[in-house]
Structure 1
Amino acid sequence: MPDAIAWCWNRGGDWKNLIRPLVTEVITLDGA
């Protein structure tokens, strides 16, 4: 399930809006 949510979030648009209620926290990685 986490992969599907991550895919939707990354895809953006309607996909991101559809799964937004499932997302409780966003952690941004700096890539270092």
Structure 2
Amino acid sequence: MKYRKDNKTVIIPNHKELKRGLEKALLKFLKEIK
């Protein structure tokens, strides 16, 4: 999914990709805390 903002194309990941990315970031964050 894409939309235009300030003459630049911004790519918005779909919900599934976004959720997967957030989960990966969260797992990485938790590993770094321990």
In the superposition, the TM-score normalised over structure 2's length comes to 0.35
- The structure with more helix, counted as a fraction of residues: 1
> Quick check: which has more Rg, 1 or 2?
2
TM-score, structure 1 normalization: 0.37
Question: 1 or 2, which has the higher strand percentage?
Answer: 2
